[in-house]
Chain A
Amino acid sequence: MYILGISCYYHDAAASLLHDGMLVAAAEEERFTRKKHDYSFPDHAIDFCLRQAGITGQNLDLVVFYEKPLLKFERILMTTLQTFPQSWDVFRESMIGWFNEKLWIKGHILTKLNIPNEKLLFIEHHLSHAASAFFCSPYEEAAILTVDGVGEWTTATVGRGRAFWAEGQGRQGESETRGKKEQSATRSNSIELFDEVNFPHSLGLLYSAFTAFLGFRINNGEYKVMGMAPYGRPNRVEDIYKLIEVGDNGEFRLNMDYFCFHHSISRTFNGNFVKLFGEPRVHESAFYTLITHPKQDHPQWNEARAQSNQHYADIAASIQRVTEETLLKMASYAHRCTGLKKLCMAGGVVLNSVANGRILRETPFEDVFIQPAAGDSGGALGAALYAYHVLLGQPRKFVMEHAYWGQGYSPDEVRAEIEATGLPYQRIEDPERLAQLMVDDLLAGKVIGLFQGRFEWGPRALGNRSILADPRRAEMKAIVNARIKFREPFRPFAPAVLEERAADFYADLDDPTRHYPLRHMLMVYHTKDGQGEKIKAVTHQGGTGRLQTVRREWNPLYYRTIELFGEATGVPVLLNTSFNLRGEPIVNTPTNALDTFAKSGIETLYMDGYVIRK
């Protein structure tokens, strides 16, 4: 049985395909169209999924869309009517979008895939999110927390998931308290979202409002706010609590006197917000403070600018603090309601890796699961899983152990694309020799590109479309930022570390093997005393790192390279950043990789056994 999941029309369009409950393929549309966060109908991603399975649209048993368009349409109509006439622009723009495209999604899908009406289903946005986490997790029962900008009406939910597994499939249960027999006896899967917060009250939109205020693009620059936060002091928390009221159970309400995202297309915050926090930061302007540049050696150094940047960093630190506190309260509430020890999380806000780390460390949950495409793209996967397990009542057998669900290329395809450019190359088939060559380059201070197999599902590069460098060299942060990625020098990089050695470098990590989010670079941890000094290029302000743990079985070449680097240096850690230029999606094809290689300062490209040197 083939089930296709689709998400699109808000941000990060994607498609995923299940075969008898096992994931076959999942990819975001942006990788194919090369438009970052492409939200248009995912024609290319769908075609890829079908190709990967060797089927056509007619072989599909079900197609599931990740939200209910009419409910969403209703929300937009209601909201704009309530704020009319201020909302005229929003109304006009959204009606154009809805009547041109979004309302006809059903017909579009049926025509595209040539399937009958009864094979198409629509699942609510937050159910899709919840399913994307819970049905990819190894758990039988877990609490669920979803938090994002907005779906139809809902912006956050708390709930519980229950699953039964096919015989002989590995899983982790809450065996002490509930017992497998009891679970198996029910023989049904369910997701119950028992609490929710509705639009316009949204933690995601609050964070996005600050993203815009701090001079970054909404739905794109949120992680930059998180990256800026450690440079500031959270001294505006009280002011932010004037904007959001958070109850003991994590339920929250925005004070709409400060926002206009519900009736404006160009602004998310209004004059009251500016009165409280001052003028917004100029879009993408240079960021430097006395903390980033203690020697005041930024080329555009200006004392007043540095001070105003400090003010913005303080605001970033404050909104980050409030977000963490709210999520912690919500997670604690989820624990109180369910009494479970496992938590599954999804939604765009759950890409906040700093908050995720705190949830695992500071709430009673012992395990947290987040799948790599936690944002809207993940809805495509969740919708398909929900249909299979809940609507069709099929037992579980799939756990998302790794993120390599995108498109891969055969050696012949790779060679043909290299030869089309005329670049000289070398073929090296022995993985051990490849790993050794990569380590030699890294030890020589070179920055290398690693392209292998299928690309990653979700926004992080995890060793198949990665740029790697020596994390011990403090200067690597500036080099990779300026020469490779063409971005601001303060931006942090993430470490990739052997799973079994992660606890040597990071505090509070007793058993890294059990924490799935670490595999997908979704949690930030503090370095152990003195260890951050050894890996300066991947240690952010405040001594933290958004680490990726690497296990041999999921990525042998990547693992072996880190291992060999560790043998040579005593530091089994590499600097890993996504293989793309600033503003572009992560590379997909060998040609994308060659292009980025040529346009950036990457010195050697290792591509599925082909080596290209500058």
Chain B
Amino acid sequence: MESDVTSSVVPSLMAQHIDIFVCPSCGGALHVSSDRRRIECSKCNLSFRSEKGIPLLFWPNESDSKVDVTEIVKSFYEENPFPGYEDVDSKWSLRDKAEKGIFARLLDDQIPYGWKILEVGCGTGQLSNFLGMTWGRTVFATDICLNSLKLGQEFKETHQIDNVVFLQMNLFRPAFKTDSFDLVICNGVLHHTSAPFLGFQSISKLIKKGGFVIVGLYNTYGRIPTDIRRFIFKLSGNRFKSLDPRLRAKNLSDIRKHIWFMDQYKNPHESKHTIGEALSWFDQSGVEFINSIPKSTAFEPFCPEEKLFKANPRGTRLDHFFVQLGMLLSGGREGGFFIMIGRKKT
């Protein structure tokens, strides 16, 4: 076969781990072509190319609805790939930025040596690039939006972050075998899909038995203040931005504010979920609850030295009521965002 010059070389990290990949269309085994420029399915003979070092393994949903949310959200992010790397010009500044959020710092510190990690919906890949800066782990960072991935890939190449591979993928049509990852991260993604629970089931299959999943979602109650602000912005033609605590913060750059504004108020599709709902997803997918941010038991603060992967009580309905009330009353400072951590039962 002639070399395909339109396709870039398949990243070596992917070639090394080709055994965990499957064809997103038929589920058949994949292999790298002899010229190392294409990924081919042994079963259905489909062939996938790479662009700028990013394998394009996106495969569309079977169209069973009139409106394909995946396509709408994909085109929104293709036009607005964020967060960009404008304020991050070195490994240090990425580390500095990531570590300002407790979650990323704890995650980086507590991921054991040798883990295989999948981030689904990595966007521009800042978390994946940050996690990939630490040696002794492999991070697969996927998203539907190629423009976002390109930004992550560019940063990875410029700063020689060797443990990350970026690839384009639709989470409903994963390109990985089941039971492949020690950790699957899906942070702020499922609520922008047409079927969040189906999405969760799709990605939870990819976790190894005993492996972990981290899911970040908008909370039904915690999001109410954001919904009210969105309504006011819509009526007023985006005036009164200072109603949002982040948009009025003095120590945040204009770029960061714009990113926040677009993500929180202009996203074409979002759904909201309760803690109880997320727990029921866990139960139906063979995942046990481990931890959450905020903590799912009422009045228990999330401490700066929290052990993310150590089992905690899942909390009663009353606990969940108070926790979610707390998110509502805090004015949706984090956009009503909550994170659930689970472990796949062995």
CB <8 Å contact, A486 and B91? yes
7 closest residue pairs by CB, A with B: A486-B92, A422-B113, A598-B135, A421-B113, A599-B134, A598-B134, A486-B91
Are B135 and A482 in contact (CB-based, < 8 A)? no
Q: Is B135's CB under 8 angstroms from A299's CB?
A: no
Q: Is the CB of B109 within 8 A of A486?
A: no
Query: How many residues in A have their beta carbons less than 8 Å from beta carbons of B?
Result: 18
Q: How far is the CA of A614 from the CA of B136 in the complex (A)?
A: 8
Give chain A residues whose Cβ lies under 8 Å from the Cβ of B113: 421-423, 598
Taking CB atoms, residues of chain A closer than 8 Å to B95 are 486, 581, 599
Q: Could you tell me the distance between the alpha carbons of A599 and B109 in the complex, rounded to whole angstroms?
A: 9
Beyond A421-B113, A599-B134, 6 additional pairs, beta carbon < 8 A:
A422-B113, A423-B136, A483-B91, A486-B92, A487-B92, A614-B136
A175 partner residues in chain B, CB cutoff 8 A: none
**Contact pattern, B 141-162, Cβ under 8 Å of A = 1, otherwise 0:** 0000000000000000000100
Q: Is B327 an interface residue (CB 8 A)?
A: no
**Minimum CB–CB distance for A194 against chain B, Å:** 47
Q: State whether B136 touches A598 (Cβ < 8 A).
A: yes
Kindly report which residue of chain B lies nearest to residue A583, judged by CB atoms. Answer: B96
CB-nearest residue of chain A to B94: A486
In chain B between 138 and 189, which residues have their CB closer than 8 angstroms to a CB of chain A? Answer: 160
Show the binding face of A for B, using Cβ within 8 Å.
286, 299-300, 421-423, 482-483, 486-487, 581-583, 595, 597-599, 614
Residues of A within 8 A of B96 (CB): 583
**In the complex, A582→B133 CA distance in Å?**
14
C-beta contact mask, B82-95 vs A, less than 8 Å → 1, else 0?
00000001111001
Closest to B112 in A: A422
A421 to B112, CA, bound (A): 6
Minimal beta-carbon separation of A593 from chain B (angstroms): 13
Given contacts A423-B136, A483-B160, contact A595 B109 (CB under 8 A): yes
Segment 241-300 of B: residues with Cβ below 8 Å from A: none
B114 part of interface (Cβ distance < 8 Å): yes
Q: B134–A482 contact, CB under 8 A?
A: no
Quick one: closest A residue to B136, CB to CB? Answer: A598
- Are A482 and B109 interface neighbours, CB within 8 A? no
Indicate the member of B109, B112, B136 with the most A CB atoms within 10 Å: B136
**Residues of chain A contacted by B136 (CB below 8 angstroms):** 423, 598, 614
Q: A598-B134, A599-B134 are in contact. Are A299 and B89 (CB under 8 A)?
A: yes
| Interchain CA distance A547-B54 in the complex, whole Å | 46
Please, which residue of chain B has its CB at the minimum distance from the CB of A582?
Answer: B92
Complex Cα distance, B135 from A300, in Å, reads 28
The binding surface of chain B is classed by DSSP as loop
| Chain B 103-123 interface residues, beta-carbon cutoff 8 Å to A | 108-109, 112-114
- Tell me which of B91, B108, B112, B114 contacts A482 (CB under 8 A): B91
For the complex, what is the distance from the CA of A458 to the CA of B96, rounded to whole Å? 26
Which residue of the partner chain A has the closest CB to B96?
A583
Interface centre among A286, A300, A486, A582 (most CB of B within 10 A): A486
Of listed A299, A423, A597, A598, residue having the most chain B CB within 10 A: A598
- Asked whether A300 and B160 contact (CB < 8 A) given A486-B95, A598-B113, the answer is no
**Also in contact, A614 and B92, with CB within 8 A (given A422-B113, A598-B113):** no
What are 13 residue pairs bridging A and B, where the CB atoms are less than 8 Å apart in the complex? Answer: A286-B89, A300-B89, A421-B113, A422-B113, A482-B91, A483-B160, A486-B90, A597-B135, A598-B113, A598-B134, A598-B135, A598-B136, A599-B108
A47 to B134, CA, bound (A): 32
Shortest beta-carbon distance, B212 to chain A, in Å?
16
In the bound complex, residues from chain B placing their C-beta under 8 Å from that of A486 are: 90-92, 95
Give the nearest-CB partner of B115 in chain A.
A422
- B90 to A482, Cβ gap below 8 A? yes
Q: For residue B91, which residues in chain A have a CB less than 8 angstroms away from its CB?
A: 482-483, 486
A597 neighbours in B (Cβ, 8 Å) = 135
B residues lining the A interface (CB < 8 Å):
89-92, 95-96, 108-109, 112-114, 133-136, 160
Q: Which residues of B contact A583 (CB under 8 A)?
A: 96
Chain A neighbourhood of B114, CB < 8 A: 422
Q: Separation in Å of the B297 CB from the closest CB of chain A?
A: 28
- The docked-state distance in angstroms from the alpha carbon of A595 to that of B134 is 9
CB-CB under 8 A from B112, the residues of chain A are 421-422
Most buried by A among B89, B91, B160: B91
What is the chain A residue whose CB lies nearest that of B99?
A: A583
Distance between A6 CB and nearest chain B CB, rounded to angstroms: 26
A595 to B136, CA, bound (A): 11
Task: Please measure, in the bound complex, the distance between the C-alpha atom of A581 and the C-alpha atom of B160, giving whole angstroms.
Answer: 17
Task: Give the distance to chain A from B131, nearest Cβ to Cβ, in Å.
Answer: 10
Minimum Cβ distance to chain A for residue B303 (Å): 16
Residues on A with beta carbons closer than 8 Å to the beta carbon of B109 = 595
Taking a contact as CB atoms closer than 8 A, the residue among B90, B108, B133, B135 that contacts A614 in the complex is B135
Of all chain B residues, the one with the shortest Cβ separation from A599 is: B134
Task: Give the distance in Å from the alpha carbon of A423 to the alpha carbon of B114 in the complex.
Answer: 8
Which residue from chain A places its CB closest to the CB of B135 in the assembled complex?
Answer: A598
Cα A482 to Cα B161 in complex, Å, equals: 12
In the assembled complex, the CB of A581 is this many whole angstroms from the nearest CB of chain B, namely 8
Shortest Cβ gap from B99 to chain A (Å):
9
User: A73 to chain B: closest CB distance in Å?
Assistant: 32
User: Which residues of chain A come closer than 8 Å to B135, judged between CB atoms?
Assistant: 597-599, 614
CB distance from A479 to the nearest CB of B (A): 10
Q: How far is the CA of A300 from the CA of B92 in the complex (A)?
A: 16
CA of A160 to CA of B89 in the docked complex: distance in angstroms?
51
User: In the complex, which residues of chain A have a beta carbon less than 8 angstroms from the beta carbon of B92?
Assistant: 486-487, 582
Q: Name the B residues within 8 Å of A423 (CB-CB).
A: 113, 136
* Nearest CB of A to B9, in Å: 23
Q: Which residues of B contact A582 (CB under 8 A)?
A: 92
Cα–Cα, bound, A597→B95 (Å): 15
Q: How far is the CA of A565 from the CA of B337 in the complex (A)?
A: 55
Report A215 CB to chain B, min CB distance, Å.
15
Nearest CB of A to B160, in Å: 7
Contacts of B90 in A (CB 8 A): 482, 486
On chain A, the residues within 8 Å of B133 by CB distance are 599
Write the nearest CB–CB distance from A401 to chain B, whole angstroms.
Answer: 37
* B282 CB, min distance to chain A CBs, angstroms: 27
Q: Closest CB of chain B to A606's CB: distance in Å?
A: 16
Question: What is the distance, in angstroms, from B155's C-beta to the closest C-beta of chain A?
Answer: 12
Q: How far is the CB of B69 from chain A (nearest CB, A)?
A: 38
Chain B residue contacts of A422, Cβ below 8 A: 112-114
Query: Please, which residue of chain B has its CB at the minimum distance from the CB of A486?
Result: B92
Q: How far is the CB of B167 from chain A (nearest CB, A)?
A: 24
Report A601 CB to chain B, min CB distance, Å: 8
Q: A312: shortest Cβ distance to chain B, in Å?
A: 19
State A614–B135 Cα separation when bound (angstroms): 8
- Residue in chain A with minimal CB distance to B91: A486
Chain A: CB-nearest residue to B158: A299
How distant is the Cα of A300 from the Cα of B90 in the complex, in angstroms? Answer: 12
Query: Could you tell me the distance between the alpha carbons of A565 and B90 in the complex, rounded to whole angstroms?
Result: 32
Q: For the complex, what is the distance from the CA of A331 to the CA of B3, rounded to whole Å?
A: 74
Within the assembled complex, what's the spacing in Å between the Cα atoms of A599 and B161?
11
Residue of B nearest to A603 (CB): B135
Task: Pick the most buried of B112, B113, B114: most chain A CB atoms within 10 A of its CB.
Answer: B113
* CB neighbours of B108 from chain A (8 A): 599
Chain B nearest CB from A426 CB (Å) reads 16
Bound Cα distance from A590 to B93, whole angstroms: 26
Complex Cα spacing A243 to B122, Å: 53
Q: In whole angstroms, how far apart are the Cα atoms of A582 and B134 in the complex?
A: 15
Interchain CA distance A286-B160 in the complex, whole Å: 20
How many Å lie between the Cα of A582 and that of B96 in the bound state?
10
Residues of A within 8 A of B89 (CB): 286, 299-300
Bound form: Cα–Cα A421–B109 in Å: 11
Chain A min CB distance to B142 (Å) = 24
Give B108's nearest chain A residue, CB to CB.
A599
Closest CB in chain B relative to A302 CB, distance in Å: 13
Residue on A nearest B111 in the bound complex, by CB: A598
**Nearest CB of B to A29, in Å:** 18
A299–B114 alpha-carbon span in the complex (Å): 34
The distance from the CB of A614 to the nearest CB of chain B, in whole angstroms, is: 5
CA–CA, A300 and B160, complex, Å: 19
Chain B positions within 8 Å of A421 at CB level: 112-113
